[in-house]
Copies of this chain bind each other. A is one copy, B any other.
Amino acid sequence: MRHRIAPRTGTAFTLDKGQTLTVIDPSGEQVADLLAFKRADVHEVISSGRTLDYASRIYLTTGDKLYSNRSNVLLEIIADDVGRHDFLLTPCSKDTFRIIYGDTDPHRGCFGNLAIALAPYGVTEDMIPVAFNCFMNVPVDGTTGELRVDPPLSKAGDRVVFRAEADLVIGLTACSALQSNNGSFKPIDYQID
């Protein structure tokens, strides 16, 4: 069964150990912020710092594992049509839109959407770390360290598939930031198998 996340919204759901989560970009050039928490103790959560250290790479793809802050594997990427995702930046928020875009009445962003969706699972705002940003294209200049947020490389129908290595709570969004999605807001689809 395929689920749809409307533009600029988010959702949360459980994923059992061994199940797979397929994140699909139905229209192309759309980002989905993904969070994974250990269901038995939601203070255990995916960690960019641990994961990038163990992978020795900032661009993760098929075969790479997403580690928690306690160095356990929570998810493994088992298929990937795109090969370019971001694990450096935090979900966009009211403050992102205020500081980067200069909005005076800013949208709550992926951060706000994740906070609302995850609250019933006991996750509070301060427990939201750097997300694994599916399809987000953040090239880094290795010499100057400069980073940009470029249009995603995903085409309509492209997908990335994760296998759960523990019983998890997942947060997932259709990203709310214009810059991340080449200037338009689109849905994200997902499927659990």
Residues of A within 8 A of B (CB): 43-44, 47-50, 52-54, 56-59, 69-71, 88-90, 93, 95-96, 99-100, 126, 128-131, 139-148
Contact = CB atoms under 8 A, between A and B. Distances in A.
A146 B57 CA distance: 4
Contacts of A130: 47-49, 130
B147 A90 contact: no
Contacts of A53: 89-90, 96, 100
A154 B69 CA distance: 29
A151 B146 CA distance: 21
A88 B56 CA distance: 11
A103 to B, nearest CB: 13
B126 A52 contact: no
A111 to B, nearest CB: 10
Contacts of A88: 48-49, 52, 58, 88
A59 B144 CA distance: 7
A58 to B, nearest CB: 4
A57 B144 contact: yes
A66 to B, nearest CB: 13
Contacts of A59: 144-145
